[in-house]
Amino acid sequence: MANQPVQTVSESGDKAKVALAVCAVIAGVVGFYFLADKPMLMRVGVLVAGLIAAIAFAWTSQSGKSFLSFSKEAVRETKKVVWPTRKEAMQMTAVVFGFVLLMALFLWGTDKLLEVLLYDLILGWK
């Protein structure tokens, strides 16, 4: 990933854009519930319009642009991942299942041993 300088001070215009985005989301949700007696298509349209407006406001802010840049770099990095073959995946899965089975048997055996020691030998309850 490219090293980008850290920016700690943001402009007041960016803060206003983020605040407008939050207000647009809230307005869309409030509109959705306020129009409870209207058809569902209209209610969903108001909600979607609020979300689209919020995305538009957020996209134009500096933090939105940096998020978009980060997302693009993340997608680029995931394309570099070398995925295991089917055979390797099956082998790793078998190793995990085998380990889980061994641990289950070990814990069951430990539980039974402690049960015998505590209840039969020490307390004499059985």
pLDDT band at 65 (very low <50, low <70, confident <90, very high): confident
pTM: 0.50
Q: Is 27's pLDDT higher than 60?
A: yes
Given a contact cutoff of 8 angstroms between Cβ atoms, the answer to whether 51 and 25 are in contact is: yes
Domain boundaries, the chain: 12-78, 84-126
Q: Which two three-digit tokens encode residue 44?
A: 């969903």
Q: What is the pLDDT, as a whole number, of residue 8?
A: 54
**Residue 96: closest CA among 111, 85, 88, 108:** 88
Question: What single string gives the DSSP state of each residue in 41-71?
Answer: HHHHHHHHHHHHHHHHHHHHSHHHHHHHHHH
Question: What single string gives the DSSP state of each residue in the chain?
Answer: -----------HHHHHHHHHHHHHHHHHHHHHHHTTTS-HHHHHHHHHHHHHHHHHHHHHSHHHHHHHHHHHHHHHHHTT--PPPHHHHHHHHHHHHHHHHHHHHHHHHHHHHHHIIIIIIII---
Count the neighbouring beta carbons within 10 Å of the beta carbon of residue 53: 17
Per the listing, tokens 């689209």 go with 52
pLDDT band at 16 (very low <50, low <70, confident <90, very high): confident
More confident residue, 66 or 12: 66
Q: What is the pLDDT, as a whole number, of residue 41?
A: 95
More confident residue, 29 or 126: 29
Average predicted confidence (pLDDT) for the chain: 89
